[in-house]
Structure 1
Amino acid sequence: MKTKKILNVISSFFLGIALLIQPSTSFAGGHSLDELITAAQKEGEVATYWHSSRMGKKVAKAFEEKYGIKVLATKMKDSEMTERIVREVSSGNVIVDLVGYDDGPMLDTVLTPKGFVENYVPPFLIKNIPEDSREPLIYLWQPFVFGYNSETYGDSCPIKSLWQLTEKEWSGRFHMWDPRIASSMLQMFSAMEDRSDDLVASYKKHYGKNLKLTEANAGLEFVKRLAANKPVLYNEDYEIAVAVGTRGQDKAPIGIYSLGRHRENKKKNLALALCDVDPFKGLNQPTYMQIVKGAPHPNAAKLLAYYVLTQEGANPWVGVVGAYSSNSSLGSSPDNPYPTAEAWDGTLLVSNNTNVANRRQNLMDFWIKHSN
């Protein structure tokens, strides 16, 4: 399995090298903003691996026009990004400078403690970054939401409780990312374990009777039943959004996808709408920004990190529906259901990185077992 191979590659690096590198956090960086700009311009370019194509398509051009520094941006999935970071740092041949990375559990338990990345919080903005988002630095919050087709079902979601997704009526009609590929799905499953009491209460509220557990907690019980109900799995959430939101369907599916896909309603004439479903509307996914140890252009990396946390640099994500900056002074799109990430008020799951790291392989095996 690809995930196991990647983890084995990473483990072999740990065994094969003497990890004398220590993690570090820089809040000052030794520069005023003007000094940082001058130092970055002398380096002339910066290379990124990023979770989003918007870094290369929008941010790179604007950053180069503003500062005269070229951005070499590569969109990359977390698993490949992890492997490349480990390989480059371990070999001493570092190509990348700055990464935008979704896999918090891997970051907290491998990349940071083993010294493959360095945390940098721009001191010029630190007062606007909540303390719990500074180490490791979260630069973006992206809700992944349960959504439905408003043309098919009207103004209200066809389900009221998530447990309905485990019923026969929705067999083969729930669309989601493949947990073997998307770490966000394993993060969601782990968060469900952490909030099992909410799932128990939701079951009682909807069915009027107590949930009978066949697993250790209601989170695992839900995952087991969902897997057995044969959801349709995808590699990309754009495909999920199209499958759910395409017009003219009599029995449109429900799906989970990034809230940003609601912008496809205008672009692709879709009919996506947010499910107001109990007990969770989705998962609030943090994305982290880190400088790679031994980055060849460290000052340009710091300047780009700063830029991405300003309104201008964040606009490709927060200027449209779907995401919120960790910089509390920045605005978000008026098309978002709520003005800030905090305003979702507990209706989005948030995973604990350590818990996910400890459960990751067991959750993967559990999903595969019950989906076959």
Structure 2
Amino acid sequence: MHTIMTPRAVTMALTLTASACLPCVALAETFDLEALTEAARAEPPLTVYDSTGKIVSMAENFAAKYGLEAIGQKVSATAQLEMVIREYQADNVQGDVLMITDAPAALSQLLPEGFVVSWLPPDMADVIPTTYHDPLTVTTNANVFAYNTEVHDSCPVDNIWALTDPEWSKRFAMIDPLSKSSYTDWFSQMESHHDDAVRKAYEAHYGKPLETEFDSATKAWVAAMAENAPLVTEGDDNTSAAVGAPGQTEPFFGLMSSAKFRDVADKGHAMAICDTLTPWVGWTYSKLALIAAGTDSPNAARLFVHYVLTEEGIAPQMVDGKVPTNTTIAMPDDEPSGIVALWDNLLAYNSTTGIEDWDSRQDWQDFWRIHYSR
């Protein structure tokens, strides 16, 4: 653990503890960004992990703005989890800040064990909704259902249960839930918070109540969708191509990150969000900003966390449809997916059951294995 030392009492010498974000809010009047910056410049170079390559330029911009050294490294959420634990145990912390999209892992493994801490910049407390305070969430990201606009004038699917019908057998694409845990977290979130909506969607689609052997409507839908032989991909690039690549006669319907709508301009893909799908057009997950407990650059780490909560800091990721939790920041007009206009039609991630999402991952993966048909 490191006590924050500054020329002035930036945060009254708060130490980097798991509860550090709580007194910070109460001490907003003592927060001094200039003093934090001065202290950060005296520390070793900062390394930031994130699952997007945008972190390289973000770290460069941060370093240039504040006159210090910082490096951004693209590291998947799964690898971040492994690396931060091993680095801490070896007393050899390399990644000082984690920008991690695996909220359940952070809630269940990283924070309780003291591998990382969450810190809310005191001057940001009033502009970030309290639900995103602890652990600190910097963006909410979306996966959305999409269709090919070259073949279809409008979305050809109106209900998630349609994806279990013969018409869409072997014509729905998404990332393999066995390789990306946010998908099993999505199943868990549906069952925990929105099972009634799944059940009502069934009745709306088929005109009769759902009768199932399973203990939830969500399980019934996941099983039926898996048995309808969806194309499971290794990543969003593959899904984007299956849906939007030009020249197709029977393109896939797909589920992908909103960031993939860059492919419309970059690769000539023809696709749009299925904005009429019920009960949701997609779902969200959280990106957290956490500080490694053993960092040698605690002030620089806090300064970077503050930076990514500003429009200047997070701008490179906003063009990928990642929505800042700072409510004073507006999304850019040129964001290609148009996700903001549909935000209220997304299944929003609820971190109150994040630990349950983590605990149920293996169960959902086993459930998928049992029911998936190629």
TM-score, normalised by the number of residues in structure 2: 0.88
Q: Which runs of 5+ in 1 are unaligned?
A: 1-20
Does structure 1 conserve the Cα–Cα contact (< 8 Å) formed by 2:175 and 2:235?
Answer: yes
Identity between Structure 1 and Structure 2 (%): 32
After TM superposition, list the pairs within 5 Å mapping 1:19-98 onto structure 2: 23-26=18-21, 27=24, 32-56=32-56, 58-98=57-97
Over 3 Å counting, the alpha-carbon distance change for 1:33 and 1:344 in structure 2 is: same
Query: For the aligned residues, what is the CA RMSD?
Result: 1.9
Give the CA deviation at 1:104: 1.0
Give the CA deviation at 1:44: 4.7
Give the CA deviation at 1:214: 2.0
Secondary structure in 1 aligned to 2:123? coil
Secondary structure in 1 aligned to 2:269? coil
Residue type at the aligned position of 1:297: S
Does structure 2 conserve the Cα–Cα contact (< 8 Å) formed by 1:144 and 1:257?
Answer: yes
Tell me how far apart the structure 2 counterparts of residues 298 and 174 of structure 1 sit (CA, whole Å).
Answer: 46
Further displaced range: 240-249 or 344-353 = 344-353
In the alignment, what sits opposite 2:11?
none
After TM superposition, list the pairs within 5 Å mapping 1:285-364 onto structure 2: 285-318=285-318, 320-334=319-333, 335=335, 337=338, 339=340, 344-351=343-350, 352-364=353-365
In the alignment, what sits opposite 1:11?
none
Tell me how far apart the structure 2 counterparts of residues 76 and 64 of structure 1 sit (CA, whole Å).
Answer: 20
Residue type at the aligned position of 2:38: T
Does structure 2 conserve the Cα–Cα contact (< 8 Å) formed by 1:143 and 1:348?
Answer: no
Over 3 Å counting, the alpha-carbon distance change for 1:206 and 1:234 in structure 2 is: same
Over 3 Å counting, the alpha-carbon distance change for 1:90 and 1:283 in structure 2 is: same
CA deviation string 1:149-201 (max 9, x = no partner): 111111x1111111111112212211111112212101111122121111111
CA deviation string 1:225-263 (max 9, x = no partner): 111122112222122112211111111101111112112
Secondary structure in 2 aligned to 1:110? helix
In the alignment, what sits opposite 2:12?
none
Over 3 Å counting, the alpha-carbon distance change for 1:230 and 1:349 in structure 2 is: farther
Stretches (4+) displaced over 4 A: 28-31
Secondary structure in 1 aligned to 2:122? coil
Does structure 2 conserve the Cα–Cα contact (< 8 Å) formed by 1:148 and 1:244?
Answer: yes
Further displaced range: 138-147 or 202-211 = 202-211
Secondary structure in 1 aligned to 2:150? helix
Does structure 1 conserve the Cα–Cα contact (< 8 Å) formed by 2:139 and 2:322?
Answer: yes
Tell me how far apart the structure 2 counterparts of residues 135 and 187 of structure 1 sit (CA, whole Å).
Answer: 19
Does structure 2 conserve the Cα–Cα contact (< 8 Å) formed by 1:44 and 1:68?
Answer: no
Secondary structure in 1 aligned to 2:48? strand
After TM superposition, list the pairs within 5 Å mapping 1:87-236 onto structure 2: 87-154=86-153, 156-194=154-192, 195-236=194-235
Secondary structure in 1 aligned to 2:107? helix
Secondary structure in 1 aligned to 2:117? strand
Tell me how far apart the structure 2 counterparts of residues 278 and 200 of structure 1 sit (CA, whole Å).
Answer: 12
Tell me how far apart the structure 1 counterparts of residues 301 and 354 of structure 2 sit (CA, whole Å).
Answer: 25
Over 3 Å counting, the alpha-carbon distance change for 1:366 and 1:338 in structure 2 is: closer
Give the CA deviation at 1:293: 0.8
How many aligned residue pairs are there? Answer: 347
Tell me how far apart the structure 2 counterparts of residues 363 and 108 of structure 1 sit (CA, whole Å).
Answer: 19
Give the CA deviation at 1:68: 2.2
CA deviation string 1:90-139 (max 9, x = no partner): 22111110001111111111111111110111112221111110100000
Give the CA deviation at 1:350: 2.1
Tell me how far apart the structure 1 counterparts of residues 360 and 312 of structure 2 sit (CA, whole Å).
Answer: 38
- Are residue 282 (structure 1) and residue 282 (structure 2) matched? yes
Residue type at the aligned position of 1:353: G
Tell me how far apart the structure 1 counterparts of residues 239 and 332 of structure 2 sit (CA, whole Å).
Answer: 22
CA deviation string 1:205-234 (max 9, x = no partner): 111112221211110111111111221122
Over 3 Å counting, the alpha-carbon distance change for 1:46 and 1:282 in structure 2 is: same
Tell me how far apart the structure 2 counterparts of residues 115 and 326 of structure 1 sit (CA, whole Å).
Answer: 24
Q: Which runs of 5+ in 2 are unaligned?
A: 1-15
Tell me how far apart the structure 1 counterparts of residues 339 and 182 of structure 2 sit (CA, whole Å).
Answer: 21
Residue type at the aligned position of 1:364: Q
Give the CA deviation at 1:61: 2.0
Does structure 2 conserve the Cα–Cα contact (< 8 Å) formed by 1:139 and 1:325?
Answer: yes
Secondary structure in 2 aligned to 1:257? strand
Give the CA deviation at 1:31: 5.4
Tell me how far apart the structure 2 counterparts of residues 110 and 246 of structure 1 sit (CA, whole Å).
Answer: 40
Tell me how far apart the structure 1 counterparts of residues 36 and 332 of structure 2 sit (CA, whole Å).
Answer: 30
Secondary structure in 1 aligned to 2:360? helix
Tell me how far apart the structure 1 counterparts of residues 280 and 270 of structure 2 sit (CA, whole Å).
Answer: 21
Residue type at the aligned position of 1:359: S
Tell me how far apart the structure 2 counterparts of residues 149 and 338 of structure 1 sit (CA, whole Å).
Answer: 17
